[in-house]
Amino acid sequence: MDFLTTNAPILIVAIPLVAAFIIPLLGQKGDGVRNGFTLTIFGLTSFLVAVLAVNVHDVGIRIYAFGAAAADLAVPQGFIVPVRIIFEVDAMSMFMGIIVTTVTLAALIYSLHFLKGQTGQARFYSLMMLLYVGMMGLAFTGDMFNLFVFLEIASISGAALAAYRTNLADAVEGGFKYIVISAISALLVLFAIGILYSEYNVLSIAAIAHFIQYTHLDMIALGLLGAAFAMKLAGVPLHMWAPDTYTVAPAGSTPMILAASYMSMYALYRVTFTIYGGFIDTGAIGWAVIIVGLLSMFVGVMMAVHQTDIKRMMAYHAISQGGYMLLGLGVGLAVIANPAALEAYGRDAMNGGIFHIINHVFYKALLFMAAEAIFFRIGTRDTNKMGGLARNMKWTTGFYIIGALAIAGIPPFNGFASKLLIYESVLKFNPILAIVAMFVSLVTLASFAKVFYSAFTGPPMPAHKEVKEVPKSMIVGMSILAVLIIFFGLFPGLIVDTIVAPATNALISHASYINAVMGAVP
């Protein structure tokens, strides 16, 4: 057990990586062998994530140095800077890791039946494991160049997954747009990493945060990093690739590509709070994040009401809810240098923003899976052709209702808890932000009610009179997320105290992140 706890950060990344290359070989033996192997490996990885989560909650920041004599020997004997590649797991990294693992579990169970009859299934599962490796590596990394490598791994796997259904013309186009966007963002991230390396001669995030003085080159690097990560997380006005890509990805991979966008959001917060955290005093960067958040909320939801394709509407809602997270954490960034305001409402705003990430990934994954369940049975995503589906697809309708009420922020679901935190704290910062947030919530409910009325209720269409309910494995995959949504809604205090508040503390106190690596000097 001690071995597992010490080596968990590297095992969580290494086991799915090796499995991703074994899956096509095992796939020659048959579908059952391949699916069983994938689920076993992923179950083992989830167990390791749970072990590491409990350990980080008890002990604090955990470090794994590659190739060192002991796993937490970050700075070798006689050196003053860390020279090895380091994985540094703090509470915020563990939070994102938990989100990614849960969504991947639900997506894997959902995909078991969804892909029946498609060719190249071994490659699908292999790519899903690679995407999982990319995202977990991005969560755990403590090194800037490693961040670039895992960002590219996640982007390549995500784009290949989005373009999986190559028999559909628009699927390949969605995947192509995603890889072009990701390649250019990642190259500019590499450029900014080069700038930071040239000044301080270290690549480790904690070491850069220790040595940084805020020169003009650092400002240019921050601008490039901010814009590149903002494009990867689909913030307005850089959001236009997101509806194309989320619409065409097969179900099961759409929540994972969505989670990859939020890992880019995590990378943005890691760079701004930890590396540049000591220099934030005018609030310019906080207001920049708030403006992007406001634009995302407003443009996302107004475009979403207008759409007729059900998954494209949900993709625009994903953009709009991303604005809520940026708003919460932007308010936290803007008041981080002001201790009185931080205690009064800054922490609550950050708690709300971070809590909203996990809530959003769960209910958005549920909604995407419900939409793809409809596509699986009917063959179209156009809401103008749907009608009266609730008579035959009762489970799907139930899951859609749970997801729609959660995203609109109706109590007692989890969306209400995080939105309440955001409204109440952002109101004290600037009332206009809270007004825009509430208006956006209203239009969100309106758009989901529109689709519910036209697609699910009403007289049954003759074309779809004999649709059946979706198979059991898809219902099980969706119900995992539905149970989690209801649980998070009934026990919000438990979730906030256990996993959200430590993440907020980890982001605010960048000194502890630095000391975990640099303080290990003998």
Partner 1 sequence: MQSVPANFPFLASALLIGIAFYIILFKRNLIKLIMGIAMLASGVNLFIVALGYRAGGNAPIYTNVPPGPMVLSVPQALTLTSIVINVAVLALMLTMVIHIYRHTGDVDSEKSRKLKG
Partner 2 sequence: MPILSYGYAVWAPIVWIVALVVIGIMVFIWRSRGQKGYKKETAQADVFLSGAKVPPAEERHVKADNIYWGFFESLKGLYSWMMKPHTGIVNDYLLWFVVVAAIAILIFLLAGL
Give whichever of 231 and 318 is closer to partner 2, judged by the CB atom: 231
The closest alpha carbon to 364, from 268, 300, 456, belongs to: 300
Q: How far apart are the first and last CA of the chain?
A: 27
**Residue 299 binds which of partner 2, partner 1, none (CB < 5-8 A, kind-dependent):** partner 2
Pairwise CA distance, residues 502 & 512, whole Å: 12
**Residue 9 binds which of partner 2, partner 1, none (CB < 5-8 A, kind-dependent):** none
The closest alpha carbon to 243, from 294, 309, 325, belongs to: 309
If one asks whether residue 238 binds partner 2 (CB under 8 A), the answer comes out as: yes
Residue keyed to tokens 């409809």: 374
Pairwise CA distance, residues 382 & 308, whole Å: 6
Phi-psi region of 309 (alpha: psi -120 to 50; beta: other; left: phi over 0): beta
Residues 486-515 that bind partner 2 (CB under 8 A): 489-494, 496-497
Piece in contact with partner 1 (CB under 8 A), picked from 142-150, 217-225, 320-328, 408-416: 142-150
Pairwise CA distance, residues 210 & 225, whole Å: 19
If one asks whether residue 424 binds partner 1 (CB under 8 A), the answer comes out as: no
If one asks whether residue 156 binds partner 1 (CB under 8 A), the answer comes out as: yes
Q: Residue 187: how many CB atoms within 10 A of its CB?
A: 12
Pairwise CA distance, residues 125 & 131, whole Å: 10
Question: Which residue in the set 95, 345, 363, 399 belongs to the binding site for partner 2 (CB under 8 A)?
Answer: 345
Shortest distance (Å) from residue 507 CB to partner 2? 16
If one asks whether residue 211 binds partner 2 (CB under 8 A), the answer comes out as: no
Residues 224-263 that bind partner 1 (CB under 8 A): 243-244, 247-248
The closest alpha carbon to 285, from 296, 266, 272, belongs to: 272
Buried/exposed 472-490: b ≥16 CB within 10 Å, e otherwise: ebbbebbbbbbebbeebbe
If one asks whether residue 219 binds partner 2 (CB under 8 A), the answer comes out as: yes
The answer to whether 118 and 156 are in contact (CB under 8 A) is: no
Residues 279-318 that bind partner 2 (CB under 8 A): 279-282, 284-285, 288, 299, 302-303, 305-306, 308
Shortest distance (Å) from residue 219 CB to partner 1? 18
Pairwise CA distance, residues 170 & 155, whole Å: 19
Q: Where is 400: in which H helix or E strand?
A: helix 394-408
If one asks whether residue 454 binds partner 2 (CB under 8 A), the answer comes out as: yes
If one asks whether residue 183 binds partner 1 (CB under 8 A), the answer comes out as: yes
Please report, as a single letter, which amino acid is at residue 477: G
If one asks whether residue 348 binds partner 2 (CB under 8 A), the answer comes out as: yes
Shortest distance (Å) from residue 231 CB to partner 2? 5
Q: Is the peptide bond before 237 cis (omega within 30 degrees of 0)?
A: yes
Residues 460-479 that bind partner 2 (CB under 8 A): 460-463
Shortest distance (Å) from residue 160 CB to partner 1? 6
The answer to whether 255 and 105 are in contact (CB under 8 A) is: no
Pairwise CA distance, residues 418 & 328, whole Å: 10
The answer to whether 285 and 277 are in contact (CB under 8 A) is: no
Residues 306-345 that bind partner 1 (CB under 8 A): 306-307, 312
Question: Which residue in the set 88, 90, 143, 152 belongs to the binding site for partner 1 (CB under 8 A)?
Answer: 152
If one asks whether residue 216 binds partner 2 (CB under 8 A), the answer comes out as: yes
Q: What SS3 class is residue 417? A: helix
The answer to whether 326 and 68 are in contact (CB under 8 A) is: no
If one asks whether residue 170 binds partner 1 (CB under 8 A), the answer comes out as: yes
Question: Which residue in the set 96, 159, 329, 451 belongs to the binding site for partner 1 (CB under 8 A)?
Answer: 159
If one asks whether residue 172 binds partner 1 (CB under 8 A), the answer comes out as: yes
**Residue 152 binds which of partner 2, partner 1, none (CB < 5-8 A, kind-dependent):** partner 1
Structure tokens at 121: 């299934």
**Residue 145 binds which of partner 2, partner 1, none (CB < 5-8 A, kind-dependent):** partner 1
Query: 187-216 mask for partner 1 (x: CB under 8 A)?
Result: xx-xx--x--xx----x-------------
If one asks whether residue 487 binds partner 1 (CB under 8 A), the answer comes out as: no
If one asks whether residue 177 binds partner 2 (CB under 8 A), the answer comes out as: yes
Structure tokens at 338: 């002001």
Residues that bind partner 1 (CB under 8 A): 145, 148-149, 152, 155-156, 159-160, 163, 166, 169-170, 172-176, 179-180, 182-184, 187-188, 190-191, 194, 197-198, 203, 243-244, 247-248, 306-307, 312
